[in-house]
Amino acid sequence: MLKRLIDIIFSTMGLIVLSPILLVIAVLIKKEDSGQVFYRGVRIGKYGKPFRIFKFKTMDTNADKIGGPSTADDDPRITKIGRFIRKYKFDELPQLINVLRGEMSLVGPRPEVLLYVNMFTQEEKKILDVKPGITDWASLWNSDEGAILAGSPDPEKTYMEKIRPEKIRLQLKYVKEWSFWVDLRIIFQTLKTIVSR
């Protein structure tokens, strides 16, 4: 109950305080590409329930139809403004809407696409016992996934071999060790990481 209350308070405050930045980003995206401002891909939430995530669009229209879900920094599908937005994680800010709606939490395992969730072992399915979040231990460990995938001839294979195993381990660690204080530590460390960019 406390976690949900914090999510509501901080997502509301965040959306209000950041609204000028969100508006500027939306205008820049619209100026570069007259299509949609948001990317609304399907992600898997708590107990395996699917939902549509809010992210600023950083890739060409129909990018999901011409490539996999793993995106390297040098992916040609990324737009010019998209590169800047992704570098500073501005594309993730609209997920505060998902938090306010109760589909996500500020802190929790990053929501995955169905393809990767279907690969979960019985043990890994425990990740779905909590709401997905905007940030977690895995996000802090690997705050720039695109940089690791950059230059790879097969980003999907690189993701599966170099990123996913540790990401899963850290997500399970979060589920097993969750507490209010753990969430606070993750939030402060996330803010520190963003500022240091």
* Helix axes of 164-177 and 180-196: crossing angle, nearest 10 degrees: 140
Mapped onto helix, strand or coil, the DSSP state of residue 38 is strand
pTM value is 0.87
d(CA 115, CA 118): 5
Q: pLDDT at position 196, please?
A: 75
d(CA 92, CA 146): 14
Residuewise pLDDT in 10s, the chain (197 residues): 889 999 999 999 999 999 999 999 999 999 887 778 999 999 999 999 999 999 999 887 665 656 666 666 667 788 888 888 888 889 999 999 999 999 999 999 999 999 999 999 999 999 999 999 999 999 999 876 766 776 677 878 888 888 899 999 999 999 999 999 999 999 999 888 877 76
3-state secondary structure 101-145: HCCCEEECCCCECHHHHCCCCCCHHHHHHCCCEEECHHHHHCCCH
In this structure, the strands spanning 133-135 and 42-44 are unpaired
pLDDT in tens, 118-146: 999 999 999 999 999 999 999 999 876 76
